[in-house]
Amino acid sequence: MASSWLAGAVATYCGVMERGQRRWLEAQEDACLSWWSAVSPWGPLSDGEMQRRIDGSLLAGASLVQAQADTQRDLMLLTEKLLTEVNRNLQQQLQDSGESPSLDAMRQALQLGCVSGGAMSKLSRQVGHFAATNLSSAPLKAARDVRRAWEKA
């Protein structure tokens, strides 16, 4: 049973990494296309076209950051799921072991660890998502703020 569980966990991990790699490669392709179109042609550009190219390049960079953050979040979810399964299996083994004060203490410690670990994992995912979202959009917001300041001047 342990070997089949481990094989399933490794297969799930490989699936998460494959999806993450696919997202990363798609974001890289979009970034390269955006950055290439931003530098060609070299002729004079209208103000609107220049702003569009700058925004496209900044959004491509944001996509790169977001692709990495999405993969990290997926890995955190997988880890949480796997740890929950391990905890459930340990609790079942302790349940099957009978009753004793020392086993009761271990059961309670496992339950507390599972609940607190789940809460910390959820908190970490939320903080990571907030940071990645704000970090990836910061350059675009800064460019827009500079444009507004430039137009006022």
Three-state SS sequence of the chain:
CHHHHHHHHHHHHHHHHHHHHHHHHHHHHHHHHHHHHHHCCCCCCCHHHHHHHHHHHHHHHHHHHHHHHHHHHHHHHHHHHHHHHHHHHHHHHHHHCCCCHHHHHHHHHHHHHHHHHHHHHHHHHHHHHHHHHHHHHHHHHHHHHHHHHHHHC
pLDDT of residue 5: 78
pLDDT of residue 17: 93
Provide mean pLDDT across the span 94-121.
83
pTM here is: 0.73
The predicted-structure confidence for 120-153, as pLDDT tens digits, reads as follows 888 888 888 888 777 777 777 887 887 788 778 7
Q: Is the dihedral of CA 132, 135, 136, 137 positive or negative?
A: positive
Residue 87 pLDDT > 80, yes or no? yes
The predicted-structure confidence for 15-74, as pLDDT tens digits, reads as follows 999 999 999 999 999 989 888 887 777 677 787 887 888 888 888 888 888 898 889 889
Provide mean pLDDT across the span 106-117.
85
Provide mean pLDDT across the span 93-122.
83
Residue 1 pLDDT > 70, yes or no? no
